[in-house]
Amino acid sequence: MSREQQAVARARKAFETGRSRPLEYRIIQLKNLQRLFIERQKEISDAVKKDLNKSEVGTQLYETLGLEGEISLAIRKLREWAAPRPVEKNLLTLSDTVYIQPEPLGVVLIIGAWNYPWAVTVQPLIGAIAAGNAAVVKPSEVCVHTAKVMEDLLPLYIDKELYPVVTGGVPETQELLRQRFDHIFYTGNSTVGKVIMEAAAKNLTPLTLELGGKSPCYIDKNCDISIACRRITWGKYTNCGQTCIAPDYILCDPSIQDRVIEEVKKSIKDFYTEKPKTCPDYGRIINQRHFKRIMALVGDSAVAAGGDGDESDCFIAPTVLRDVKPDAKVMQEEIFGPLLPILPVSGLDEAIKFINKREKPLVLYVFSADEKVINRMRDETSSGGFLANDCLVHFSVSSLPFGGVGNSGMGCYHGKFSFDQLSHLRGCLIKKLKMEGVNNMRYPPHTPKKLGCARFFILKTFDLGWVGRMLLLALMAVVAAFVLQVRETQAKSKKMLLFLFVCLFVSFHVFS
């Protein structure tokens, strides 16, 4: 039995004991996880510093802060999420109990990515714990130090049988993928995503794929270019461009290209001083392989800013490329590095056409002061997310589902969406062994008369929620009329009655 097989078997056995199911247990585990981020901040940021040269503050800002928020949200809302969700009733189910019951799926495999080794690995884990699953966590082997820290620290805080950490490279991952899981959650690139889906097909395992893609960024010429470029610069060069939702390239009118370049340059200076290489807030490329790949992408494009790199340090300066052609090398794959190509397009129409010709991106950015431009861009394109006038920040909004479409992935997560994604939403219909007479219409021998009856019951769609609301309103109206009646004769009791009124309203509000 391989190590991977053992870990999965142990997790499944622990899951089958049912101890991951009680809400109290899930909350305890989440609280322990929360404690990990408070107590071990130093070890976490040291490892990330070694892997990606992120500063301590940067690690907190981009990695652990979001996780802390997510955990506290899950702890607060778990009871609400896990409660049965009643559905609308119809004539046939009038006297029955009908609801959707979220249930744990079983053992979830979480394969993390290296660019935000904590954020994208632990965030699905939070969902898995909240949903009551067991989870096998496989941090990316590319982040050597972080993977080690994760392997050491997680078992100290959360149940080590239910949530084992398995480290390793490609062979270990392949071995893991041969095991049977109840869900696979993968964050990474499209090529590996396809391999994972193929492996999952053998066991019919559902999956969530958080992939990348070239996220376009369109700048309208009539917007505040200086603010737009500040936000783009921040979005692009955070973590040295190694962000799956970083704006990949800029589309703008040729007339504003020079201004955009100037503003981006100015913002780079603002953020990372004159010498980004010595700036503690500027990251590094993860390894030599990626360094070479990114440097090669510059190819024949004209460099407007930056362009220098230092292989020994895996440093690539914030780089802007101008007048890039659609067939340039840098436009053929996701950049995942600090290169920002600018492609001049003659207007919104051409930009939309350009975007639609390519794979659906994970996110689409538009900068414009004109609502019409934003709406047209939104209506005529497709992408996982759509963000107007800012970059990256939609990731931090846990009430929005985060995920891709087409080549940028499938499934979504964050907040309640993680919970739902890693739960089985089981339809439940609880009837009584009574009223057998009503069922006669469905039993053979079938006759047109019975059929007519069935037709009535099935096709008459009453919205019972609406009927209920109306009934309540009618009740309130009656109470109101009553109050007015009594008021005339008995003015003294009106305080009481008014109070009653307010109470009724409050109760209605709470009830609804």
Reduced to 3 states (helix: H, G, I; strand: E, B; else coil), residue 427 is strand
Closest distance to another protein from the beta carbon of 430 (Å): 4
Judge whether 240 counts as a catalytic residue.
no
Q: Which two tokens stand for residue 318?
A: 């914030």
CA atoms within 13 Å, Cβ hemisphere of 256: 22
Reduced to 3 states (helix: H, G, I; strand: E, B; else coil), residue 438 is helix
HEC string of 90-126 equals: CHHHCCCEEEEEEEECCEEEEECCCCCCCHHHHHHHH
Distance CA 416, CA 130 (A): 10
250 with 232: CB under 8 angstroms? yes
- The smaller minimum CB distance to another protein, of residues 297 and 355, is found at 355
Closest distance to another protein from the beta carbon of 288 (Å): 25
Judge whether 210 counts as a catalytic residue.
yes
Distance CA 325, CA 341 (A): 9
Closest distance to another protein from the beta carbon of 76 (Å): 7
86 with 98: CB under 8 angstroms? yes
Closest distance to another protein from the beta carbon of 345 (Å): 19
Closest distance to another protein from the beta carbon of 256 (Å): 14
- The smaller minimum CB distance to another protein, of residues 28 and 400, is found at 400
**CA-derived radius of gyration, the chain:** 28
Among 70, 210, 263, 334, which one carries the catalytic annotation? 210
- The smaller minimum CB distance to another protein, of residues 191 and 312, is found at 191
What sign has the CA pseudo-torsion 292, 297, 302, 305? Answer: negative
DSSP state of 389: S
Closest distance to another protein from the beta carbon of 167 (Å): 26
428-446 as b/e: b if 16+ CB within 10 A: eeeeeeeeeeeeebeeeee
134 with 164: CB under 8 angstroms? no
Region for 299 from its dihedrals, namely left if φ exceeds 0, alpha if ψ lies in -120 to 50, beta otherwise: left
Among 244, 252, 314, 391, which one carries the catalytic annotation? 244
To 10 degrees, the CA torsion angle through 384, 335, 349, 374? Answer: 50
CA atoms within 13 Å, Cβ hemisphere of 293: 13
Distance CA 46, CA 232 (A): 28
Closest distance to another protein from the beta carbon of 44 (Å): 14
Closest distance to another protein from the beta carbon of 155 (Å): 26
Q: Which two tokens stand for residue 435?
A: 């009223």
DSSP state of 402: B
Distance CA 331, CA 24 (A): 50
- The smaller minimum CB distance to another protein, of residues 139 and 283, is found at 283
Amino acid at residue number 331: M
- The smaller minimum CB distance to another protein, of residues 312 and 437, is found at 437
Interhelix angle 41-52/23-39, nearest 10 degrees: 70
Closest distance to another protein from the beta carbon of 506 (Å): 7
Between the alpha carbon of residue 454 and those of residues 92, 98, 122, 312, 434, the distances in Å are: 10, 20, 51, 76, 18
- The smaller minimum CB distance to another protein, of residues 257 and 423, is found at 423
Active site residues: 210, 244
